Amino acid sequence: MASILELPDQGIVQSLGVGQGVYGDLVFGEGTDWPVLAAENLLAYESRIADTPIPQRDGDMVNGRWAAGRIVVLPFKILGLTEHAARRTEWLSAFRADDPREEHWLVFKDHGGTYLVRARVARRRVEQTPFGARALSSNAVVELKLADPRVYDGEDWLQTAIPSYGAGAGGGFNLPVAQLPINMTAPTGGGTVFENTGQSTAYPLIRVTAVGSSMTAFELANLTTGQVVEVNTTVTAGQTLVIDMDGLIRAAAGPHIHIEGSSRYGSWVHPREPWGLAPGFNNLLVTVAGGTPFVRLDWLQPTL
């Protein structure tokens, strides 16, 4: 699957020229073995399917509805001399149809910038006209269905934030202890501001590692948007709780909330709504019960 932790090789992406792209491990476009003039419909998407329908029960989610109807078309021209038939066979092999649950990163660079999307080959076809047969050329088309309706910035690349935690970070409760219930300990936390420079909400991969001692609850609040993600589960020292909002929002295969692959979806506190970083500055507040967390957020900048 196309995880944000398994992005295309950045060196290859940075070396792309205008009209070139990468799909999986295959480089295509002008000046390569597989010339293509454009990535049609890549930026023609004007309305995004709602980001709200996350299932409210544990278990795997069905992929599909988030990218319904979104197809990117890559028109190729296959050229050859005596080996033309072999070239067509090679092209069909290079762009083989993917499994319905499979996805790869597609990167394409045009005069407007470098764009990054998740996609899978839905259909491919080779057409040869009488003139093309005489000229030993074929028109070939790859149709890629997007597994995620968002288009990401392929130049800004992966963003990382480490929210501060503890008294030195500020934030936390400012209520006098006398106002709290007598059997309640005031939690501690820290607030930090991070910027999403994209054009729409970014859904991060959140990793929370317990340092020194165990945690029994974790909460991350976006004070700017009012969104809160809370997971009540024990994370022993050295373990990492993973909260994959990027996977959840695009209905990828799970588990999405887990410790070392063991699902903690049932520990996710309702209302179980998508949690993300709005465009612009976001003030984040970390709160835990027990232990000291090391929190890391990774996300891509959506341009569309």
The pLDDT assigned to 128 comes to 67
Torsion, Cα 131 135 137 138, to 10 degrees, reads 10
How does the average pLDDT of the chain come out, rounded? 80
Class of the domain covering 158-300: mainly beta
The pLDDT assigned to 185 comes to 35
Q: What is the model's pTM?
A: 0.81
Helix ranges (H only) for 97-192 are 130-135
Class of the domain covering 10-153: mainly beta
- Residue 223: partners with Cβ closer than 8 Å, 6 or more residues away: 191, 283, 284, 285
Q: Which residue has the higher pLDDT, 198 or 128?
A: 198
Helix ranges (H only) for 95-189 are 130-135
Domain boundaries, the chain: 10-153, 158-300
Domain 10-153 shares a fold with domain 158-300: no
pLDDT band at 63 (very low <50, low <70, confident <90, very high): very low
53 in Cβ contact with 85 (< 8 Å):
no
Report the range out of 119-133, 186-200, 246-260 with the highest average pLDDT. Answer: 246-260
The count of other CB atoms within 10 Å of the CB of residue 153 is: 19
Q: Which residue has the higher pLDDT, 26 or 241?
A: 241
pLDDT tens digits, one per residue of 132-164: 455 567 888 999 988 887 899 998 889 999 998
SS3 content of the chain, % helix, strand, coil (to 5): 15, 40, 50
The proportion of the chain whose per-residue pLDDT surpasses 90, expressed as a percent, equals 44
The pLDDT assigned to 285 comes to 94
